[in-house]
Chain A
Amino acid sequence: GAGVSQSPSNKVTEKGKDVELRCDPISGHTALYWYRQSLGQGLEFLIYFQGNSAPDKSGLPSDRFSAERTGGSVSTLTIQRTQQEDSAVYLCASSTPTGDQPQHFGDGTRLSIL
């Protein structure tokens, strides 16, 4: 079946611009996670959605970062006024709500800020 789909696969933009990254989870997966992978920091948790519950935003690095999940499915991560330190690979994962199943990851969006 279809896996987690992320778009775009690559994004190059100028410093100060806003960007939107999209994640389409596996059908039926109610849990959705965003992570960031950068050379200096490794893989870091950003935000977590579970069903209709309030999202866990504890990993968002600044108020320039926000995320939405519409209809319990597709999620969009938005970065406003991008900075060079935002350059990284942004990974999305989804899973069933129980903790006994692994998370399934997309291939990520490679974001480069010029």
Chain B
Amino acid sequence: KQEVTQIPAALSVPEGENLVLNCSFTDSAIYNLQWFRQDPGKGLTSLLLIQSSQREQTSGRLNASLDKSSGRSTLYIAASQPGDSATYLCAVSGNTGKLIFGQGTTLQVKP
């Protein structure tokens, strides 16, 4: 059974810091991995999707890497801003697209 773990559970940093969020999964037979952002009381917003054949994806200040063989992904956020404060969720899927989520990392960026 696939299990996804995210570390740390919570993180508080001053504005401007670069930071790394970690995600690990137990079964390397994934189709893709996605990083989402969730603001309080809202649904999920897709940030980055990495196909199983890819190593990384970048969007603006965000960079996500995937090491499928070791079952790990990282989300790197450069020059963090208070508006980045949210819960970040990692999820993996098989070929049906059904997502299995980690418990999330709650990020607070202090001005």
Mutual binders A and B: yes
Q: List residues of chain A with CB within 8 A of the CB of B98.
A: 33, 45, 48, 56, 59
How distant is the Cα of A3 from the Cα of B104 in the complex, in angstroms? Answer: 23
Best-surrounded residue of B96, B103, B104 (most CB of chain A within 10 A): B96
Best-surrounded residue of A99, A100, A102, A104 (most CB of chain B within 10 A): A102
Q: How far is the CB of B90 from chain A (nearest CB, A)?
A: 11
Q: Do B101 and A99 touch (CB < 8 A)?
A: no
Query: What count of chain A residues pass the 8 Å CB interface test?
Result: 25
Query: What count of chain B residues pass the 8 Å CB interface test?
Result: 25
Q: List residues of chain B with CB within 8 A of the CB of A106.
A: 43
* Prevailing SS type, chain B contact patch: strand
Q: List residues of chain A with CB within 8 A of the CB of B63.
A: none
* Prevailing SS type, chain A contact patch: strand
Number of A-B contacts (CB under 8 A): 58
How distant is the Cα of A48 from the Cα of B96 in the complex, in angstroms? Answer: 8
Q: List residues of chain A with CB within 8 A of the CB of B36.
A: 105
Please pick, from B31, B46, B89, B101, the residue contacting A102 in the complex, using a CB distance under 8 A. Answer: B46
Contacting residues of chain A (53-102) with chain B, CB-CB under 8 angstroms: 56, 59, 91, 93, 95, 99-102
Q: Do A100 and B45 touch (CB < 8 A)?
A: no
Q: Do B97 and A105 touch (CB < 8 A)?
A: no
Q: Do B93 and A99 touch (CB < 8 A)?
A: yes
How distant is the Cα of A42 from the Cα of B90 in the complex, in angstroms? Answer: 12
Q: Do A50 and B43 touch (CB < 8 A)?
A: no
How distant is the Cα of A91 from the Cα of B91 in the complex, in angstroms? Answer: 15
Q: Which 7 A-B pairs have the closest CB atoms?
A: A102-B46, A105-B43, A43-B101, A105-B44, A107-B43, A102-B49, A42-B103
